[in-house]
Structure 1
Amino acid sequence: MTTLHRIPLFPLGSPLLPQAAMPLHLFEPRYRQLIHDLGSLPADQQRFGVIAIRQGREVGTDHLNALYDVGCIADIRAIQPYADGRFDIVTMGTNRFILRDLFDEKPYFTADVEFLPDELGANPDAMSNRVRQHFERYREIVQMEDGQDVLSPDPTALSWEVAAGMLLDLDERQRILAADDTTSRLILERQLLHRELGLLAQIPSLPAFDPRQLPISSN
């Protein structure tokens, strides 16, 4: 029997990935209310779902059809309130979920979601070794300054590190998030890395890229 969980939902223009940090600047009244509501809960329950909008910046009247099916839980790690009611928060991606239903009875959306297991799939170790080699070459070429010299030996953790470290469009990042298991995710990443390495080989030089310096998302 499927177990559904009712969670607050934060639609954004880009998906959140497990193990990835996402800073947010909250100024809209609905998301100020969200932080006030979560602030009354124990620290280990201060979380909400992040899900990507298929097109544009707002859900509009399409509701479920405007959103991708798979999202990620954001655990709140730090909150900085301001006198005018705004908040800066830092979140960390944890569990993936599939969106089952959407509700708008509160100022912000809530949703019924089903948490997704992160299964390994077939032969993840062999695939992770191939992806590791491709990604290390990719980081070398783009001169990535991500502060992470050593990649995780764990295939699942590695798959999320690679996803966070690549420059991908919305659909590609969403496909990685929604992959059925770790091996499927690594296979997709190997394909994307192979494509990117081929393109990079045609470029004489690139400026250093630091994914930690990407702009803070605003609601």
Structure 2
Amino acid sequence: MFKAADLPEIVPIFPLPGALLLPRARLPLHIFEPRYLAMLDDALKTRDRLIAMIQPAVHGHGGEDALHQIGCAGRITQFSETEDGRYMVTLSGISRFRVEQELSGFQPYRRCQVHWQDFSRDLGGVEKDSSFDRESFLLLLQRFFESRQLSTDWDNLEEADDELLINSLSMMLEFQPEDKQALLEAPSLTTRRETLVTLMEFALRGGTQEDLIQ
């Protein structure tokens, strides 16, 4: 179990639009760019083996190189190398963080100084959603899957605990990067579930991202 005081102040940053990692969830990654191969090699040499996932900010809000201020760090728990030198990696989510500043250096990848204090809840046990109406949620989810011609193992979904169900769907379902950021920044599991419901209901009504922002 990690403690906030044990987490590093400087982390390697992997800015990937639309990719969402949440605490206690797992994110598979396919790493092949030379700079991120170097990042992975360096991370594997550290005690914590952390890589910080973060969304690039929307164009027009600080430039194309800008980053959102909140991301989530994950520990490399599985990796394998292909014959052509690429890596298949699994990150296990540890905690969200807030960026203090981006650092310059000789590394080919980006690094940021971060703090973890705002997200101490991430380092605790599995979170519960006390007001979760699972039956109505699964009915909405079924409509959403049917509208997109998606299939899933419904038995596993019905048996999954609240956090695993809500967080896995938040990571898996295709939404706009800004929507993914809203799911990441949700202060509680209940808020994340409410946000997820809003996004699914809005998509089923045929709304656009611009309509949702308004």
Normalised TM-score (structure 1): 0.70
* Superposed displacement of residue 136, structure 1: 3.0
Q: Is residue 23 of structure 1 aligned with residue 29 of structure 2?
A: yes
Q: Which position in structure 2 is the counterpart of 1:50?
A: 53
Q: Which amino acid aligns with 1:138?
A: F
* Superposed displacement of residue 146, structure 1: 4.3
Q: Which secondary structure does the structure 1 equivalent of 2:206 belong to? A: helix
Q: Which secondary structure does the structure 2 equivalent of 1:161 belong to? A: helix
Structure showing greater relative contact order (alpha-carbon pairs closer than 8 Å, 6 or more residues apart): 1
Q: Which position in structure 2 is the counterpart of 1:160?
A: 167
Equivalence map 1:7-156=2 (5 Å): 7-18=11-22, 19-28=25-34, 30-41=35-46, 45-55=48-58, 66-76=66-76, 77-80=78-81, 82=83, 86-94=85-93, 95-107=95-107, 108-115=109-116, 116=119, 117-118=121-122, 124-129=129-134, 130-146=136-152, 149-151=155-157, 153-156=160-163
Q: Which amino acid aligns with 1:126?
A: S
Normalised TM-score (structure 2): 0.72
Question: Could you give the per-residue CA deviations for residues 34-61 of structure 1, whole angstroms, max 9, x where no partner exists?
Answer: 222223235xx222101111146xx97x
Mapped partners of 2:172, 2:40: distance in 1: 29
Q: Which position in structure 2 is the counterpart of 1:191?
A: 198
Q: Which secondary structure does the structure 2 equivalent of 1:164 belong to? A: helix
Q: Which amino acid aligns with 2:181?
A: Q
Deviating above 6 A after TM superposition, structure 1's stretches of 4 or more consecutive aligned residues are none
Mapped partners of 1:93, 1:177: distance in 2: 15
Mapped partners of 2:106, 2:80: distance in 1: 22
User: 1:125–1:150: structure 2 CA closer, same or farther, 3 Å change rule?
Assistant: farther
- 5+ long unaligned stretches in structure 1: 201-219
Identity %: 20
* Superposed displacement of residue 199, structure 1: 3.1
* Superposed displacement of residue 193, structure 1: 1.6
- 5+ long unaligned stretches in structure 2: 208-214
